[in-house]
Structure 1
Amino acid sequence: MTDQSTKPSLPAQSPPVAPAVSKDKSRANWLKGDGAESLRRNLGLVGVLVILVIIGIATRPELYGDATWVKNNVFTILTQASAIGVVTVGMTFVIIGGGIDLSVGAIIAIAGVWSTTLSTQSYGTFGMIFTAIVVGVVVGLVNGALISYGRLVPFIATLAMMVAARGLAAQISGKQTQVSANSTINSIASTKILGIPMLVIILAVVVAAGWVLLNRTTFGRRTVAVGGNPEAARLAGINVRWHTVLLYALSGLCCGIAAIMLTSQATSAQAAMANLYELDAIAAAIIGGTLLSGGRGTIIGALFGVLVFSTITNLFAINNLSTEVQNMVKGGIIVAAVLIQQFRYRSLTQLLGRKPTS
């Protein structure tokens, strides 16, 4: 009989060891997946900006060789992007929420004209700013009410508002350019803080506020939910109609701010101001990664989209190229961005790593 006590004891099982992951593999994975899609797109837009700068250096090396000119040109691009950038923040929220706003340019016009009437200017700086913002918000509320409670398609409602607001702006101004006599308003465009133009600071503040609102608040989460699936959002307890009204009011608020910025730059306002701003804002949001169908988008991506278009405009200006060619290039970029959204792959590695079918 074998003595059990003489049997060799089995070694204790060691705890499971996680498989080693190489540093190269872990670095490659951080750009994979749907969660990093916005990061990949933003990096792509940064690449586009770098390419545009390289083109500028190649075509006008004498300009880019001057460090002072380069610094001033960067601020010029940012200043040109400031007003449309503010509008794009509001447009991004509307599109993420499943809508569209074709009236932003007209809202800027009516807000600018209304705030520069003689009666409004008599109330001083605060009166002009207050009027522009209130007019923008009220028009946005009307858009939202027509869409939410009037059951109008956003395209039709905002298209009608675009025509009506331009007409009302022309009626108020008598089809004349209204000059701003307020020195404080006029000085916004020329004021610098620590060497940074005030218009650029306003843009930065609006972008930061928009990012926090979209990514760190219940309002932002509800916006994504409403745009992604309105019925599911309603069943989850979200008042979809009221939230839609608020989104268009937010867009109107951004238009009111932009109206003051443009009035400061031109020291005047007219019914034709901010022409085609709606198309520029929509295009910037789209190439920044905002889905036209709603439910997804980023404020930072939209800002990069604005900077791409502003840099293109600057590149054409320093090379004395026509506006017509510039518009054709912009149109091509918009079409390419939409096609990428429709036929995009989750990542470049997935595309390159796909095995051929036999």
Structure 2
Amino acid sequence: MVPKLVWREPIPTRTITSESAAEAPAADPPEAAAPGRADRPTGELSGTLPSHRVLTLGDIAGRESGGLVVLLVAVGALTLASDTFLTAGNLSNLARQVAIFGIIAVGQLLVILTAGIDLSVGSVLGLSGAVTAQLLVAGWPVIAAIAAGVAIGTALGLVNGLLVTRAMLPPFIATLGMLGIARGVVLVITDAKTVQGLPTGFQEIANGTVLGIPNLLLIAAAVVIAVWFMLTRTVFGRYIYAVGSNPESARLAGVPVTAVTIAVYAISGLLAGLGGVLLTSRLGAGIPTAGTGFELNAIAACVIGGASLFGAKGGALGAATGALIMGVLNNGGNLLAINAFYLQIAIGVLILVAVGFDQWNSRARA
């Protein structure tokens, strides 16, 4: 009996149980240390970076298809309800209206993809446009004035990113503060007066055409395509989705989370500055109150186009589609003499439906 007891004694110490798992030696060091493995200790990100291409072309396209359906329905209904909707003059006017919203929306999208938000884009747009107008009136060359306006927007976006990453302020608070600062500055430097007397060449930038296609539409299309390419074909685009999915897992996987976050806010500011320059060109004047409420329209366009406010879901084409839907609804409402307040209600309902569908879809997949 003694030999039998001696033989059985070591067995519990060699068996890995729930009590002894914490004390067990690390499993298979060569395999755990293998580079590029999907089972590395990177949390949810382990499947994000390698498989992001599939997510972009498949899942994101599926999310954007809902916005396309809504857009086609709206266009079809307005075509039947109004004889002037599909006229060249109205479509040209619609393109100019939607172009600036689309540019701001894709900038806002980059921030939303990182689970952030930028409430300052409307005020940044107004400040950039007013400064550009003042510089032009002061005799600056058109190119230099445009570069200065865009640079101001980029700098303010950069400050937003630093406030979020370095000062650790919530994006809502940081950008809300910038909203007030930028709007206050533009009212001070213009004395709340419209800046007029802009050169004709500058106004032609937004009001001119190329082969009958409005310049604004061409510029907006170029911006949307550039952002789409960045999100779907570059490492930086993968990083953006990774940060929005799980910033800690992204950090463990080697993603420069802080740099990516600062970059998306800077790009959002850059595109807001570009939008301010183009709006000033279109109106032929620098208006201090320009851009008021644009931040809410940009967020609404992203959400209607399939983006999730929780991050890592959405695409540039979807944001552009959302902006186009809002523009079509507003344009159609004007043609049909529908009370603008009802249009606001319709857009609000679209936002609620889009967010509700996103939540339902997330729970269904879980």
Instruction: Give me the TM-score of the superposition, normalised by structure 1.
Output: 0.83
Instruction: Give deviations 1:276-301, integer Å, cap 9, x for gaps.
Output: 11111111111111111111211111
For residue 84 of structure 2, what is the aligned residue in structure 1?
63
Q: Does 1:46 align with 2:63?
A: no
Structure 2 gaps, min length 5: 1-54
Q: Which amino acid aligns with 1:148?
A: T
Q: Does 1:226 align with 2:243?
A: yes
- Which deviates more from structure 2 when the two are superposed, residues 338-347 or residues 89-98? 338-347
Do the aligned residues in 1 keep the contact of 2:280 with 2:287 (CA within 8 Å)? no
Q: Does 1:331 align with 2:348?
A: yes
Quick one: which of 77, 88, 95 aligns to 2:112?
Answer: 95
Equivalent-residue separation in structure 1 for 2:318 and 2:131 (angstroms): 32
Do the aligned residues in 1 keep the contact of 2:136 with 2:199 (CA within 8 Å)? no
Instruction: Give deviations 1:291-340, integer Å, cap 9, x for gaps.
Output: 11111211111111111111001110101112111111111111111111
Equivalent-residue separation in structure 2 for 1:53 and 1:118 (angstroms): 40
Instruction: Determine helix, strand or coil for the equivalent of 1:343.
Output: helix
Deviation at 1:275, TM superposition (A): 1.2
For residue 157 of structure 2, what is the aligned residue in structure 1?
140
Do the aligned residues in 1 keep the contact of 2:136 with 2:198 (CA within 8 Å)? no
Q: Which amino acid aligns with 1:104?
A: V
Q: Which amino acid aligns with 1:149?
A: R
> How does 1:160-239 map onto structure 2 within 5 Å?
160-239=177-256
Q: Does 1:251 align with 2:268?
A: yes
Quick one: which of 296, 301, 307 aligns to 2:318?
Answer: 301
Q: Which amino acid aligns with 1:51?
A: V
Q: Which amino acid aligns with 1:40?
A: G
Equivalent-residue separation in structure 2 for 1:153 and 1:180 (angstroms): 41
Instruction: Determine helix, strand or coil for the equivalent of 2:307.
Output: coil
Deviation at 1:43, TM superposition (A): 2.9
Deviation at 1:250, TM superposition (A): 0.3
Instruction: Give deviations 1:12-40, integer Å, cap 9, x for gaps.
Output: xxxxxxxxxxxxxxxxxxxxx99634333
Count of residues in Structure 1 that have an aligned counterpart in Structure 2: 311
Q: Which amino acid aligns with 2:84?
A: L
For residue 242 of structure 1, what is the aligned residue in structure 2?
259
Do the aligned residues in 2 keep the contact of 1:180 with 1:263 (CA within 8 Å)? no
Q: Which amino acid aligns with 2:151?
A: V
Q: Which amino acid aligns with 2:67?
A: L
Do the aligned residues in 1 keep the contact of 2:157 with 2:265 (CA within 8 Å)? yes
For residue 126 of structure 2, what is the aligned residue in structure 1?
109
For residue 4 of structure 1, what is the aligned residue in structure 2?
none
Equivalent-residue separation in structure 2 for 1:331 and 1:101 (angstroms): 19
Deviation at 1:228, TM superposition (A): 0.6
Equivalent-residue separation in structure 2 for 1:135 and 1:34 (angstroms): 32
> How does 1:11-26 map onto structure 2 within 5 Å?
none
Equivalent-residue separation in structure 2 for 1:98 and 1:120 (angstroms): 40
Over 3 Å counting, the alpha-carbon distance change for 1:302 and 1:180 in structure 2 is farther
For residue 14 of structure 2, what is the aligned residue in structure 1?
none
Deviation at 1:119, TM superposition (A): 6.8
Equivalent-residue separation in structure 1 for 2:345 and 2:101 (angstroms): 19
Deviation at 1:46, TM superposition (A): 2.3
Q: Does 1:262 align with 2:279?
A: yes
Deviation at 1:224, TM superposition (A): 0.6
> How does 1:332-351 map onto structure 2 within 5 Å?
332-344=349-361
Percent of pairs with identical residues:
34
